[in-house]
């Protein structure tokens, strides 16, 4: 058998005939047609990632709600909407977006610590499945808004902070005591009792979300036990919980990371749920990164190479406003040349963008054999890149292409300076 040309951990990205492909299409041709920086996504990777969750929940009553903040482009949302997914939203803007992509509002849940009254009204009018409430103060406001809205009760779940360490970057760890998210474990029962007494609310579930880029099963198992302990207490208090929502957070392979596969993880979690008698309860999950992260690459052109006193710089046309994760979290993204050159001529570079900030780097100390005009692919760029993109330095946001087999669809035009100036007044 000949070795697979696919990059390790990236089954739909492969070097063929000396050129890097996403599915059946060479990235260089897409970059020529659409310019750089350019995000390119593999539809098959997304569907395969979703299928792992679907396999994991086979025979169960489960709703997979894609956490759309990971990548909220309409073309990406449409893939998941067509596959029957629900969605986890965190703003009224995301609600409008996901409805525009054809989502069923009855499969939409609304998370976030700072929902406004206007957003609550918008979500009630749309008829979403559930508000994941994050504080006692939010309960009061949601109750008031629901009562004002012609007799419509708001279905709610309360986000519990299970106080487990997800063993990830502190900025993406959300289930520890010091975080702003959720209601403390100790306050949970009292908060549920109060929620059940409010006439504008209908208690339907419980939820947690302990962090992101989690690469081990143990934090999930710990959180599960702690949430189930609370479920027992809450139901003993006469408040039935229709669904249990375990959030998202499963990691992907950025740099030899080895997170459990979604189906393997859920096999373990379901065994615990079964053992404790909750295996037939309706389950909800909110995966974001693990459904899109490794579906995407960002193609960027080498503008200059610049030997420095201590370091050599490879200056590319993608920047922190396209790929914010290195600047925000010191995150690692693999960087691969589109056309492989002889590794013998490699130099150690810091790959940096044109933005006027020292934090504008994409990769540090990378061995690359590159020259001006070469194209590079920044891998694992499907999640928390385009959705976090900004216009800093008045840079237009990149274009996006969705690849399915040998078909490429432009799902977002490159943002022009006219687009950026449209809302400004002089």
Ligand X SMILES: *Cc1c(COP(=O)(O)O)cnc(C)c1O
CB of 412 to ligand X, least distance (A): 20
Give the nearer residue to ligand X in terms of CB position, either 286 or 360: 286
Closest by CA to 395, choosing from 377, 410, 416, 378, is 416
- Tell me, yes or no, if 208 is annotated catalytic: no
# binding residues, ligand X (CB under 6 A): 16
Cβ neighbours for 403, distance < 8 A, ≥ 6 positions apart = 22, 23, 24, 25, 30, 40, 41, 42, 43, 409
376 exposure class (CB count in 10 Å sphere: 0-12, 13-18, 19+): buried
What is the distance between the alpha carbons of residues 50 and 74, in angstroms, rounded to a whole number?
Answer: 17
CB of 94 to ligand X, least distance (A): 11
Give the nearer residue to ligand X in terms of CB position, either 36 or 42: 42
DSSP H or E stretch at residue 38: strand 38-42
Q: Report if residue 382 touches ligand X, rule: CB under 6 A.
A: no
Considering only residues 119, 286, 317, 322, which one is a binding residue for ligand X as defined by CB under 6 A? 286
Considering only residues 200, 205, 287, 363, which one is a binding residue for ligand X as defined by CB under 6 A? 287
Q: Report if residue 288 touches ligand X, rule: CB under 6 A.
A: yes
Window of 63-71, 313-321, 326-334, 342-350 that interacts with ligand X by CB under 6 A: 63-71
Q: Tell me if 91 sits within 8 A of 122, measured CB to CB.
A: no
Give the nearer residue to ligand X in terms of CB position, either 36 or 73: 73
Q: Report if residue 289 touches ligand X, rule: CB under 6 A.
A: yes
Give the nearer residue to ligand X in terms of CB position, either 289 or 366: 289
CB of 241 to ligand X, least distance (A): 18
Considering only residues 70, 128, 269, 323, which one is a binding residue for ligand X as defined by CB under 6 A? 70
Q: Report if residue 290 touches ligand X, rule: CB under 6 A.
A: yes
- Residue number with the smallest Cβ distance to ligand X: 288
Give the nearer residue to ligand X in terms of CB position, either 209 or 395: 209
Give the nearer residue to ligand X in terms of CB position, either 69 or 395: 69
What is the pattern of x (binds ligand X, CB under 6 A) and - over residues 23-62? ----------------------------------------
Cβ neighbours for 67, distance < 8 A, ≥ 6 positions apart = 87, 88, 111, 248, 286, 287, 288
Q: Kindly state the tokens that stand for 356.
A: 């006027």
Q: ω into residue 62 within 30 of 0, thus cis?
A: no
What is the distance between the alpha carbons of residues 110 and 115, in angstroms, rounded to a whole number?
Answer: 9
Beta bridge pairs of residue 22: 13, 25
Q: Report if residue 350 touches ligand X, rule: CB under 6 A.
A: no
Q: Tell me if 316 sits within 8 A of 368, measured CB to CB.
A: no
Annotated catalytic residue, options 65, 130, 314, 356 = 356
What is the distance between the alpha carbons of residues 367 and 345, in angstroms, rounded to a whole number?
Answer: 9
From residue 145, how far is each of 117, 123, 154, 192 by CA, in Å? 7, 11, 9, 19
Q: Report if residue 296 touches ligand X, rule: CB under 6 A.
A: no
Q: What is the 3-state secondary structure (H, E, C) of 150-205?
A: CCCCEEEEEEEECCCCCCCCHHHECCCCCCCCCEEHHHHHHHHHHHHHCCCEEEEE
Q: Report if residue 248 touches ligand X, rule: CB under 6 A.
A: yes
For residue 58, count other CB atoms closer than 10 A to its CB. 9
CB of 316 to ligand X, least distance (A): 26
Site for ligand X in 190-209 (CB under 6 A): 209
Considering only residues 23, 88, 360, 400, which one is a binding residue for ligand X as defined by CB under 6 A? 88
What is the distance between the alpha carbons of residues 263 and 147, in angstroms, rounded to a whole number?
Answer: 41
Q: Report if residue 162 touches ligand X, rule: CB under 6 A.
A: no
Q: How many CA atoms lie within 13 A of 359 on its CB side?
A: 12
What is the distance between the alpha carbons of residues 183 and 303, in angstroms, rounded to a whole number?
Answer: 49
Give the nearer residue to ligand X in terms of CB position, either 250 or 273: 250
Give the nearer residue to ligand X in terms of CB position, either 25 or 68: 68
Cα Rg, the chain, nearest whole Å: 23
Q: Report if residue 111 touches ligand X, rule: CB under 6 A.
A: yes
What is the distance between the alpha carbons of residues 287 and 109, in angstroms, rounded to a whole number?
Answer: 13
Q: Report if residue 247 touches ligand X, rule: CB under 6 A.
A: yes
Window of 35-43, 91-99, 217-225, 247-255 that interacts with ligand X by CB under 6 A: 247-255
CB of 31 to ligand X, least distance (A): 27
Q: Report if residue 182 touches ligand X, rule: CB under 6 A.
A: no
* Catalytic residue annotation: 356
Q: Where along the sequence are the contacts to ligand X (CB under 6 A)?
A: 67, 69-70, 88, 111, 209, 212, 247-250, 286-290
């Amino acid at each position: 058998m000949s070795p697979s040309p696919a990059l390790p951990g990236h089954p739909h990205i492969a070097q063929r005939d000396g050129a890097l492909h996403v599915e059946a299409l060479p990235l260089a041709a897409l970059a020529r047609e659409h310019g750089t920086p350019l995000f390119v996504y593999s539809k098959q990777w997304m569907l395969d990632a979703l299928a792992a969750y679907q396999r994991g929940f086979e025979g169960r009553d489960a709703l997979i709600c894609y956490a759309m903040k990971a990548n909220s482009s309409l073309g990406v949302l449409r893939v998941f909407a067509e596959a029957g997914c629900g969605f986890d939203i965190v703003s009224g803007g995301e609600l409008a977006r996901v409805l525009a992509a054809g989502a069923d509002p009855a499969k939409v849940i609304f998370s976030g610590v700072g929902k406004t009254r206007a957003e609550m009204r918008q979500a009630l009018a749309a008829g979403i499945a559930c508000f994941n409430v994050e504080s006692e103060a939010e309960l009061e406001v949601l109750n008031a808004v629901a009562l004002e809205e012609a007799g419509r009760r708001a279905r709610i779940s309360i986000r519990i902070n299970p106080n487990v360490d997800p063993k990830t970057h502190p900025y993406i760890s959300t289930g520890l005591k010091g975080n702003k998210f959720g209601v403390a474990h100790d306050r949970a029962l009292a908060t549920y009792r109060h929620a059940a007494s409010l006439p504008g609310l209908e208690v339907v579930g419980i939820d947690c979300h302990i962090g992101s880029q989690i690469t081990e099963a143990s934090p999930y198992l710990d959180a599960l036990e702690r949430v189930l302990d609370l479920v027992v207490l809450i139901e003993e208090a006469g408040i039935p919980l229709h669904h249990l929502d375990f959030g998202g957070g499963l990691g992907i392979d950025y740099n030899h990371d080895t997170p459990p596969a979604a189906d393997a993880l859920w096999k373990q979690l379901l065994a615990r749920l079964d053992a404790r008698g909750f295996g037939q309860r309706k389950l909800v999950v909110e995966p974001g990164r693990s459904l899109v992260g490794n579906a995407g690459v960002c193609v960027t052109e080498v503008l200059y190479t610049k030997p420095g006193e201590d370091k050599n710089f490879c200056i590319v046309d993608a920047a922190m406003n396209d790929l914010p994760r290195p600047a925000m979290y010191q995150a690692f993204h693999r960087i691969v040349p589109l056309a492989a050159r002889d590794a013998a001529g490699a130099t150690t570079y810091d790959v940096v963008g044109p933005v006027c900030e020292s934090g504008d780097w994409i990769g540090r100390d990378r061995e690359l054999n590159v020259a001006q005009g070469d194209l590079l692919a920044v891998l694992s760029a499907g999640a928390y890149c385009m959705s976090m993109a900004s216009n800093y330095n008045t840079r237009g946001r990149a274009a996006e292409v969705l690849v399915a087999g040998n078909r490429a669809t432009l799902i977002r035009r490159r943002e022009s300076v006219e687009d950026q100036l449209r809302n400004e007044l002089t």
